[in-house]
Chain A
């Protein structure tokens, strides 16, 4: 053991700074978005998110009104800087570290004298979050001239809808896949390998090609626009991967365990409940995370199968709509996105120890 632990530690010393660097690089855009979500749209438009940190920038110390009668076609002098109108428009830096800039047009402009000073533009606001959480306000004027302010939908309804879509869409395929994986791994029946191959091969079918046929079936069955429709769709699209992942794990369980149970007279159901389920915990959890993140972030499936019903819209659909008909409220998107991330983050962090363990589920045979 002592010999083994030596080499990983040596590599560790190089890997750590690289990892930290990569993490920082990956996180910078997210940090930028997070900061932007606390800024007003006009601030976002006019300056970068990093300007909220202290930095040196030009600040106006004096404004000079040029003599109205003076000739503005030649060289002019202000505050120790002289140049033509064009040069002044671009700004002239003087020897004492000041900058003299002509602001405005040739006839009406003024001259600003600026110095470089430490500054920060920390006008942070919660408006974006308030807007997203409580719903946008719309002013309506009725025919008779009466004004009324209406509040749009807040995110809470969509949040609950997303939960209502996601939980069954995770549990349903998880349950079916666990049974199926056990069956494929430990129950002998003819055509087992063929059926398993077909199920695994289904992973390569892009879900987009099945949207229209599935939707037309749903319409005929009267399922369209219901939660059940999305549950079934998500379960169906998620099953091949789930079965494959769980099969690899369950098949790698020690044969002796199951044989002992069979000798003791346990039925398949009993073996599944008392042996497989407790042992497959990490694999189940890791698949649950996969499926949860996929369903929570899904837009397409929900759009097609429940998109026609405004009252069951999920979070991703609300987010897409929050920016307005023409994208004019783009500034709300950052706040909305961070709110929608809360639950996936919580799920990930609470289940992450299974996730790492489950990633290697079935990867190596013991």
Chain B
């Protein structure tokens, strides 16, 4: 061992954790990562580009610090609020970052089709990746390559668990409400709240040009709960039409809540005019004006800031129960995914490092993210919210990615949002809305 004391410590740590987690004993670890940990790529630079900024960026940079110090590889991460527009321009002009973190896999698919992305299976090894991720994650990172063949081009950085229902815990308990564990209890809870003279749900789908996306999440949740995952996959890939009975049935489930009498605070008018970030705040009024809010784990950053709201005391969450027991406990997720544009040994090393849950440790401890990596342990999480979301994810019978992000941009970031909004606001009936979405699906 000729390494510095730091390398020695790190090797000891690696060895120690190898005892705790079998994943470390993995002989398939890419040579580049081993070399990098030995300091072979000292002085090299890897550029990374992504959409996460601000607090997330700070946490990420803290995350990679130890790796940078150890390997001498400088990882330069830059973020952009206009990620989608910027990345296309940069790639077209040849100013390509080494690694790109896509906020959704749909856009990554475009670059895979044009052959800009490196096949990760061939550079990192299939065995290594299989040891780091459950098969469903690898499936969700696989996109058609330039020759149309499915290619693994993305590995997941972090996950946002969407199937969560938030509630104001303290008044909720005082009112004697119980967290529902199945759909019947869920319906009973809604009825109990209405009988008490309140409205059960806080819902807001306004989001500027993206108005309607929270409603598409709802439809995706209901799809997973009222039909098979095979149908869900067919739906997101365009084989199952929006106007089909399966999708319509799911939409009617959404309608039962969105359009139901006295179900949503402010009624349909408030749904379409309330920003998704403001939607949960009536829940924290004293007394609460509405009691339930379905949204991913990121929503806590939008909770009112003037009071120091504590998870587990002032608010809690539960899994939005399944409707038909035949479809188990499906979980809807969003997330972002790393892909590799330039193939150099040090880039491979960093990518191999990102495939390990341990690279997220500081972020997990600081809160605000959930790891999709197989080696991530629940004890690494710094707060109960993230840990709970990770548990829900671990106990899921099926994990599916946000459908609108998988659909072509014209639909997933266009007509799907718009038509859902039109239907909820009452300017269109459900059949028209669903047919309009079908009609907007690009033909080729």
The residues of A with any CB-CB pair to B shorter than 8 Å are 40-42, 45, 85-86, 89, 103-109, 136, 138-143, 145, 150, 152, 211-213, 215-216, 218-220, 224, 303-304, 307-310, 317, 320-330
The interface-forming segment of B20-28, B54-62, B112-120, B429-437 is: B54-62
- The reply to whether A105 and B366 contact each other, CB–CB distance below 8 Å, is no
The interface-forming segment of B33-41, B85-93, B216-224 is: B85-93
What residues of chain B lie closer than 8 Å to A42, measured between beta carbons? Answer: 281, 304-306
Q: Which of B42-61 contact A (CB under 8 A)?
A: 47, 49, 51-56, 58-59
- Asked, given contacts A45-B281, A216-B93, A224-B95, whether A303 binds B80 with beta carbons under 8 Å apart, the answer is yes
- The reply to whether A141 and B366 contact each other, CB–CB distance below 8 Å, is yes
Who on chain B is nearest to A310 by CB?
Answer: B78
- The reply to whether A321 and B89 contact each other, CB–CB distance below 8 Å, is no
- The reply to whether A145 and B51 contact each other, CB–CB distance below 8 Å, is no
Q: Give 3 closest A-B pairs by Cβ, nearest first.
A: A215-B93, A104-B287, A105-B196
Could you give 9 example pairs across A and B, Cβ below 8 Å? A108-B287, A140-B366, A143-B361, A152-B58, A211-B89, A212-B89, A216-B93, A219-B95, A324-B55
What residues of chain A lie closer than 8 Å to B366, measured between beta carbons? Answer: 139-141
**Contact of B306 (CB < 8 Å), options: A40, A216, A325:** A40
- The reply to whether B175 and A108 contact each other, CB–CB distance below 8 Å, is yes
- Asked, given contacts A105-B197, A141-B367, whether A325 binds B58 with beta carbons under 8 Å apart, the answer is no
Say yes or no for B362: interface residue by CB 8 A criterion. yes
What residues of chain A lie closer than 8 Å to B361, measured between beta carbons? Answer: 143
**Contact of A103 (CB < 8 Å), options: B195, B287, B365, B382:** B287
What residues of chain A lie closer than 8 Å to B287, measured between beta carbons? Answer: 103-105, 108-109
What residues of chain B lie closer than 8 Å to A308, measured between beta carbons? Answer: 47, 49, 78, 90, 95, 97
Who on chain B is nearest to A108 by CB?
Answer: B175
- The reply to whether A303 and B86 contact each other, CB–CB distance below 8 Å, is yes
| Whole-angstrom distance between the Cβ of B4 and the nearest chain A Cβ | 20
What residues of chain B lie closer than 8 Å to A216, measured between beta carbons? Answer: 92-95
Docked CA distance A310–B78 (Å): 6
What residues of chain B lie closer than 8 Å to A218, measured between beta carbons? Answer: 93, 95
- Asked, given contacts A42-B306, A143-B365, A308-B78, whether A107 binds B89 with beta carbons under 8 Å apart, the answer is no
Docked CA distance A62–B342 (Å): 70
Q: Mark B78-115, 1 if CB is under 8 A from A, else 0.
A: 11111000100110111101000000000000000000
- The reply to whether B302 and A45 contact each other, CB–CB distance below 8 Å, is no
Q: Mark B291-306, 1 if CB is under 8 A from A, else 0.
A: 0000000100110111
- The reply to whether B82 and A303 contact each other, CB–CB distance below 8 Å, is yes
What residues of chain A lie closer than 8 Å to B175, measured between beta carbons? Answer: 105, 107-108
Docked CA distance A108–B173 (Å): 12
| Whole-angstrom distance between the Cβ of B399 and the nearest chain A Cβ | 22
List 9 other contacts, CB 8 Å, given A105-B196, A145-B365: A41-B305, A142-B62, A143-B361, A212-B89, A215-B92, A216-B92, A324-B53, A324-B301, A327-B277
- The reply to whether B81 and A320 contact each other, CB–CB distance below 8 Å, is yes
What residues of chain A lie closer than 8 Å to B306, measured between beta carbons? Answer: 40-42
